[in-house]
Structure 1
Amino acid sequence: MVSQIERGFGEKFLKSIDNFYTYGIDWLFNEWWETAPADVIAKYEAAILDHPDHGPLAREGWLAPDFGIGSLDSYGPGTLGHAYRAFMVDNKLVEHLAAGYHARHEELLQSGKIDRMPPALAYKVLRGFQTHDLHHVLTGYPATPLGELAIQAFQLAQMDYPYAAMWIAVVTSHMTLVDPYLIKPGMDAITDGWALGRRARSVQFVKFEHRLGEPLDDIRAEFGLQRDPVARADTPPERTPELLKPSVERSD
């Protein structure tokens, strides 16, 4: 029997397509588990546990201790740690984002909403919040709406993961049905992130927190993350997609 989308969840999916700022993809992701088909959940779980790199790391379940920006002050120019600090400071990002989401995850568990989320997927959620900004630094994708879209395509190329897949599904549906001006810049970001994710070594779950003192260029070369920046400027100002106006969610 072919799995089907539960119709109540389908309505929530349409709400997210209409406006994913008022009904965010993070909300959509957490709503999905209660009605998700069991065989689909099993496939996502197997995609992690059966992978030669992801499986052992997911079973280990390592999470980095919470950190403050000040702990990165000692890393010199050219290192991953220095670039990580600059990315966080320049973009005025929340340094305890992962710790805050961990508390929210516990609340969702207590509510029963994500009871059907397998441990491997739960680990991906929590570790993903820790590594999201590190992955921006490693890939070179900026903390902009299109940079966030590219990083989600990159993540999906490296791992079958419903959150990243929902990102692509919602945005491509929005560009198709709501804002056609998003099609070209959106697809540029998606295809760039997807291509990089497919050809690079997996960075999922890797303990880059232990490598902050190493040269960023060396780590990028090791994982095949060198890329040319995507910087298209052919969208007229009057055709700026709605996606480019507010900022979008920051998570993996």
Structure 2
Amino acid sequence: MPVLPARKRRAAMHKVDRVFGEKFLTAIDDFYRYGVHLLFNEWWEQAPQDAIDKYVAAIVDHPEQGPLAAAGWMAPDFSLAMVADCAPGTLGAAWHEHMMVNGLAEKLAAGYAGLIADFEASGKLNRLPPVLKYKVLRGYQTHDLHHVLTGYTTQPLNELALQAFGLAQSDYPYAAMTLSVIMGHATLVDPWLIQPAMDAITDGWALGRRARSIQFVDFENQIHRPLADIRAEYGLTRDAPFVPLMPRVSELVAGELEVQERMRAAASAA
């Protein structure tokens, strides 16, 4: 492949849209005030087509993910009743415990689908390819299953590790934006976050690279299988769980832990 002169290389490179860049900086400033769930949907209007095409190819050209994405299967809305009769040690029993202990919403995916619909009505998602729309909607369905399968908890740095895991398995702007926003915040606002965030990212990345792809897999139809068997099949077995070391807890992590405790308290009181 011929190498372009430096001036031509610079001319050929796409630039970040400056209006979107301000939104990206807003997310870096305060991840909770302007999260990636909004940033992701704001990107498509100004996104370089070349970047969009590469994200699409990462899925459709993947030997396992491509056929599953083409099938476009969506699970029925999750309910705790679906897994109430699963035997101890099964995926379903672990999923049930995960949802109950963390006080998590049963219809997370349905809620995000409503957000997508609002953005679509505004015209902001006219350039969002169908396969990437499927990726984000199916991703919200499987997110808590992936917590269970990988062993990552819902604590902030474990959530970051899970995003790195998913990004290691498939180039995907939502996960990449999450890591970029967190590291941008750590770099420019809260340096105490740098080391624990990088520990989380590298742990999730390494696990995601060595494991088989679990993206789009219909684990909802495997809830009665032993969790240990599924982890072994997909290369998710590990000697010890990820335990983040935080000698000095960053403001971002401390704030999220406080939010989680309030959510659990509210769920327990309901």
When the two structures are superposed, what TM-score results if normalisation uses the length of structure 1? Answer: 0.95
Aligned-pair distance for 1:232? 3.9
Aligned residues with identical type, % of pairs: 59
Question: For residues 249 and 124 of structure 2, what CA distance do their matches in structure 1 show?
Answer: 37
- Gap change, CA 1:118 and 1:234, over 3 Å in 2: closer
Q: What does residue 47 of structure 1 align with?
A: 58
2:68 corresponds to 1:81: no
Aligned-pair distance for 1:104? 2.0
Looking at CA atoms only, which structure, 1 or 2, has the larger radius of gyration?
2
CA deviations 1:201-238 (Å, max 9, x no partner) are 00000000010000000000000001221224451xxx
2:103 corresponds to 1:99: no
Q: 5+ residue gaps in structure 1?
A: none
CA deviations 1:101-155 (Å, max 9, x no partner) are 1222222212111111000100001100000000000000001111110000000
Q: 5+ residue gaps in structure 2?
A: 1-11, 261-270
- Gap change, CA 1:30 and 1:234, over 3 Å in 2: closer
Q: What does residue 45 of structure 2 align with?
A: 34
Determine if contact 1:61/1:123 at 8 Å carries over to the other structure. yes
Q: What does residue 131 of structure 2 align with?
A: 120
Cα-Cα RMSD? 1.5
Q: What does residue 264 of structure 2 align with?
A: none
Aligned-pair distance for 1:191? 0.4
Q: How many equivalent pairs are there?
A: 247
Match of 2:73 among 59, 62, 65: 62
Question: For residues 10 and 232 of structure 1, what CA distance do their matches in structure 2 show?
Answer: 31
When the two structures are superposed, what TM-score results if normalisation uses the length of structure 2? Answer: 0.89
Q: What does residue 229 of structure 1 align with?
A: 241
Question: For residues 170 and 142 of structure 2, what CA distance do their matches in structure 1 show?
Answer: 14
Question: What letter matches 1:229 in structure 2?
Answer: P
Give the secondary structure class of the aligned counterpart of 1:205: coil
Q: Which runs of 4+ in 1 moved over 4 A?
A: none
